[in-house]
Amino acid sequence: MSNRFTLYGNFRSGPTYRVGLMLSLCGEPFSYVHIDFAKGEHKHPDYLAKNRYGQVPCLYDGKHHFNQSASILQYLADATGKFGGKTPEERAYIREWMYWDFDRLTPGIFRTRVYARGIRKADAAVVDSYRADGEAGLAVLEGWLGKHAWLVGDGPTIADMHVYAAVHFAPDGGFDLSKYPGISAWAKRVEALPGYASCEAVLPKESRP
């Protein structure tokens, strides 16, 4: 029997990991299509028909293609009945964290990582500015996680998965997470969840039927 979901992504992509982590925590085996950036596969008309933004990730449920990692997480929470929040208020707080993450945390961490790994080049002032944004975002997150076990409510939600996928790559960008004890303890709680897997374990380097 074929899998219910197919994920289009790239193993170096934090937003792809976000979706792969959710599928793994939901216990949903998925088919995988590797999108090779070096070959420009993300800008090929066949792929643009699935993802108008020319980006990964993209999730296919056998009928529709869904894009933008935060939106895909919300779709998967609805489709599986897992990690979506119990009340309208919880769901609003979940969206709040995800929107904040993509505005204030993810850019600082992911762009700093891209410069640290030499994938892109920029002037030192630009690199420093993104690093400062990343540290500022981590400080806000620490302010919450120093006092709360989870981002929303009393258990893990897609807000935790969204933000965790950014934090997961922070050491790779040269951020020292030992400065943030609340974040470090929360990351361990996420990593102890049944079905948790690192980015390397979740995302194959090649397509998988």
Which positions touch ligand GSH (CB under 6 A)?
13-15, 42, 54-57, 68-69
- Nearest distance from residue 164's CB to ligand GSH, in Å? 14
Q: Are strands 58-60 and 65-67 parallel, antiparallel or unpaired?
A: antiparallel
Q: Are strands 30-34 and 5-9 parallel, antiparallel or unpaired?
A: parallel
Q: Identify the bridge partners of residue 67 per DSSP, sorted by sequence position.
A: 58
- Nearest distance from residue 9's CB to ligand GSH, in Å? 8
> What does the block give as tokens for 60?
């296919």
The angle at the Cα of 70, spanning 66 to 76, to the nearest 5 degrees, equals: 60
- Nearest distance from residue 54's CB to ligand GSH, in Å? 5
Which lies closer to ligand GSH via its Cβ, residue 11 or residue 186? 11
- Nearest distance from residue 175's CB to ligand GSH, in Å? 17
Which lies closer to ligand GSH via its Cβ, residue 17 or residue 180? 17
Helix, strand, coil percentages in the chain from 3-state DSSP, rounded to 5: 55, 10, 35
CA atoms of 88 and 62, how far apart (whole Å)? 28
Which lies closer to ligand GSH via its Cβ, residue 68 or residue 80? 68
Which lies closer to ligand GSH via its Cβ, residue 107 or residue 174? 107
- Nearest distance from residue 23's CB to ligand GSH, in Å? 15
Residue nearest to ligand GSH (CB): 55
> What does the block give as tokens for 183?
């974040």
Letter for the amino acid at 48? L
Which lies closer to ligand GSH via its Cβ, residue 68 or residue 129? 68
